[in-house]
Homo-oligomer: A and B are copies of this chain.
């Protein structure tokens, strides 16, 4: 029997929980310390899951990885090189990842993809980097139909630079 896949989400956000200006933008405002942490972390993962907007923003980097792109525009799934376009309403993503022997999977957003794993109770860990910024407007970290209270547990806090970028690690089980 194959073991359970471990899902870890990575989020970089402002103090007010915004992750981007709009769905077409990345996080050029993220600190270089967060970028280094993120790149180093990804080396330990077998695959990443993203939505189509995140894929478009970061396609150059994601094409080199084992990437699963959530989309409703394929039947079950369609693989092109190391990238698989995957329809989560028609196929089981945990089964697909297990079948490919991926044990550690990073969830890289956007909000719909983060929320998919959160709502299904599949999220094991959440890394949130809080940059010392306030945006007031922008893309929310998660997207939900209604106010729901998901309880997590803080595992660690690390200050990444003098301006005060904070790296928080939560257990989401």
Contacts and interface: CB of A to CB of B under 8 A. Distances in A.
A163 interface: yes
Stoichiometry (number of copies): 2
A136 interface: yes
Dominant SS among interface residues on chain A = loop
Interface size classification for chain A:
35 or more
A6 B160 CA distance: 29
A128 interface: yes
Nearest to A139: B147
A149 B136 CA distance: 8
A163 B153 contact: yes
A46 B7 CA distance: 48
B134 A154 contact: no
Given A17-B13, A17-B18, A140-B16, A154 B145 contact: no
